[in-house]
Structures are given as structure tokens and as C-alpha cells.
Amino acid sequence: MRGRPRPAGRKPDKAPAREIELYIDKLGSEGVGVARLDGKPVLVAGTLPGERVRARVEGGQGAITQLIEASTDRIAPACHHFGSCGGCALQHLAWEPYLAFKRDLVVEALRRQGLGDVAVGATAASPPGSRRRATLEAKQAGGTLLLGFHGRSSHHIVDLGECPVLLPELAALLAPLRKLLKVLLPAGAGATIQLAAGPGGVDLGLMLPAVPDMEQLERLSAFAEVKDLARLWWRADGMAPVPAAQRRSIGLRFGTVPVDPPSGGFLQATAAGEAVLTAAVVDALAGAERVADLFAGCGTFGLALGQRALLHAVESDPAALGALASAARRAGLGFVSTERRDLDARPLLVAELKRFDAVLFDPPRAGARAQVVNLAASSVPTLVGVSCNPATFARDARILVDGGYRLESVLPVDQFVWSPHVELIGRFSRR
């Protein structure tokens, strides 16, 4: 029998909140404990498998009110913002099971695509305090300048006094940046801060609500001076980045090649993660003579191959590609060619792929579906895929396997410590 019709636009009444005892079965993909209640999953942040908790449950979400029985894998979190800050989900989990969780994310994504028999290595870790790239938010709110990451499942900014994830030189900028932005931002205004660091120093970018006036620009360049930043740039409302202080390079090298990434450009999130990925790329491509580096950025992997192969780097961002090309020119690398191209709209064609004996692809989170379809129809002997999204990597891997490639091995790489994100590298060979 059908019930009385609901008035238009009114949602069915949600079950009222209730406090209840729950048993946590597993960790979900967001690093959140999952219990079952009335046959449905309930997500309880801050819990671990095997724990018994009391939680206030509303909809499919539970907020822990009491930890009745703790997991033996539970440890004290490293940061006093843990729980409120949305940057970390898993500081309360011991290191080994934490790394195993990250590996499981990769295994599960592959299994869902029927690739459960692929050899997946142990997660290559990046230690806490090693993140060299981060985006923070700031807001001038009621006389207080908030600076930090967004809160867990919220748009509020958690004002960070510390951040054990970041490199110490980046964490040390939190307090001075707060002071700077307090003077710079008008009431109610917000800004986005992009931090990157290399051996030569820090690159600080500010996305501001308006073009700074002369006095503010002087303040910015004085800040760069006092904090000994390598570079400070700003941009407002869709403008290209404008340098406020360009004091030196941040000192990055890919292999032996010095590279100056563009303001706000992509950079692998930790030096440790980049080293593991680069070593795996170099190993997988040993012996290749003509390599295509697709989604090349400013050359993290391609330039690290050095003289081993003729390199064709393809990338849609002109600033990144320009940085790669100038680095290759300065280093006298005549074997590097570059091509600006949107690989989603215009993937390399099967005929174009014929000239390569290896192809490396490292797309953004959405993956490389269009390019992979052409690779699957190609005869390139060796492929290497790097990804920050196991689900789209597994989807693309399925296309390649169906096209006759073998996914030989996958290595999970953790560059976003204590978050539920994981990266990976996989190598394929033609069967």
C-alpha cells in the first residue's frame, strides 16, 4: 500500500539521532571506521576495526562518544588538532597497520576490476614531517585570522598551531603567515596559500581576494626577506601568478638536471615518494631507447632518465612544459623534445605511438582513459603508469589488460601521510 504523498520538496523524515553501542568491522576507504546497524553501514570517524564504541548515530554517520574497547593498533595521535582537522584521518592507527591499510586500498581497487591476482608490493612510506607541498586556507573572521586546512567534513578552517605532516620549515611559517595575513586581508575575506619547498628554500604563493596595493606589496617582499623565502608570488581573481620576491631557485633536481617549477606548479608531495617513484620508473624503463613521458609536468620522471633514452614529453600546462624545456636546454639535453597537448581531447594516436619502445603516463586523479584506449591498441612493449587514484588506475589497467598487456606489478607509495590517499606505480608489458 502506498503512503500519503509527501508535500513537494519535503524529504522523508530521517531516523532521529540515537546513541548506541557499535562494533567497528573495518576501515572504509576514507580511513573511517565502519559498523553495521540494522543491516546498513554507519561511518564512525576516529575508530578502528575491532573496537567497541558508543556513538551518536544520525543517518549513516556516527560520532564517537565513548571508546568502550580499544584496538591494540590504537596509538596516541601526533597532533592536537587530530579529530577536528580534515587533513588527517589515521593518526590513531599504528604505523604497520596504517601502511597495510594503504596497500589494501590499492589491492581492493584492482580486485574490483578483476585484477586481484596482480603482485602488489608493500607500501613505500614517507615519514611524518616530510610533506613539501601543501595548500592551506585562510580567513579573516571576527577579528581572528584562521589559517589551516578545512575541518573534517566541514568548510570551517581549523586554525593550526602545529602540523606534524609538513616539513618543519613549512610548519614554522604557520605563525608568521597568520600575522602577515591578519594585516593583509580585509574583514571577512579569505585567501588560499600554496606552499612548496625544495633544498634551496620555500616557494610561497598567495591567492588573494584583490590586487595588493603598494604598501601590501612591500609587506610581501619584506616577509620574503625576513623569512628567507626562495620565492613569494601572489595572484588575484584568475590572474597569472605575479612574483613579489624572486630571491633564488628552490633548488630541485630531477636526476641531475636542475629544474625551476613554475609558481604553483605540480610537484610530487614528498621527496621520499618522488625518489621511490623515480627509482621504479628508471628501473622499469632500463633499456628503452625512445620514451614518451605523458602528463609530464615539469619533467620529474622524464628528466631523471637522463641520457638513457630519447625523451618526448607531452603535457597540457604551458608553464610546466616551459620549465621542462628550459631545464633541458640549460642542461644541454638535445635528446629531449616537448609537445603541448591535451591528452584527453587529443591522445597520442596508435600510429604516433609506434616510434616509442616505452611510454610513461602519470595523469591527474581522473586517469588517462582516452590515452589508455590508444595504448591498448598499440604495440609499445613497455608501459609505466603512475597514479594518485587507485580506482582510475585500476579502470585504465583493465583496458590495457583487455588490450593484451600484462600488469606485472604495482607498488603503493604513500606521500599523504595519515590521509586516506595513496599513490602507486605499475608496470605493464605486451603479452
Ligand X SMILES: C[S@@+](CC[C@H](N)C(=O)[O-])C[C@H]1O[C@@H](n2cnc3c(N)ncnc32)[C@H](O)[C@@H]1O
Residues with a catalytic annotation lie at: 388
Contact 328, 306 (CB under 8 A): no
The 148-167 contact track toward ligand X, x by CB under 6 A, reads --------------------
Give yes or no for residue 268 binding ligand X (CB under 6 A): yes
Question: Whole-angstrom Cα distance, residue 391 to residue 397?
Answer: 10
**Look-up of cell digits 604497520:** 96
Residue by residue, DSSP assigns 217-255 as: HHHHHHHHHHTT-SEEEEEETTPPPEEEEE-S---EEET
Question: Which letter does DSSP use for residue 158 in this model?
Answer: P
In angstroms, give the least distance from the CB of 334 to ligand X. 22
In angstroms, give the least distance from the CB of 277 to ligand X. 7
In angstroms, give the least distance from the CB of 89 to ligand X. 22
Assign 257 to helix, strand or coil. Answer: strand
Q: Which is nearer to ligand X, 229 or 323 (CB)?
A: 323
The 277-316 contact track toward ligand X, x by CB under 6 A, reads ------------------xxx--xx-------------xx
Q: Which is nearer to ligand X, 93 or 394 (CB)?
A: 394
Assign 188 to helix, strand or coil. Answer: coil
* Total of chain residues touching ligand X, rule CB under 6 A: 17
Backbone angles phi, psi at 306, to 5 degrees: 60, -140
Grid cell for residue 248 = 633564488
Q: Which is nearer to ligand X, 178 or 427 (CB)?
A: 427
Contact 24, 17 (CB under 8 A): no
Question: Whole-angstrom Cα distance, residue 363 to residue 384?
Answer: 12
Residue nearest to ligand X (CB): 297
Q: Which is nearer to ligand X, 104 or 274 (CB)?
A: 274
Give yes or no for residue 266 binding ligand X (CB under 6 A): yes
Beta bridge partners of 140: 145
Give yes or no for residue 275 binding ligand X (CB under 6 A): no
Give yes or no for residue 344 binding ligand X (CB under 6 A): yes
Question: Whole-angstrom Cα distance, residue 230 to residue 134?
Answer: 16
In angstroms, give the least distance from the CB of 171 to ligand X. 23
Which 349-378 positions form the footprint of ligand X (CB under 6 A)?
A: 362-364
Task: List residues binding ligand X (CB under 6 A).
Answer: 266, 268, 295-297, 300-301, 315-317, 320, 342-344, 362-364
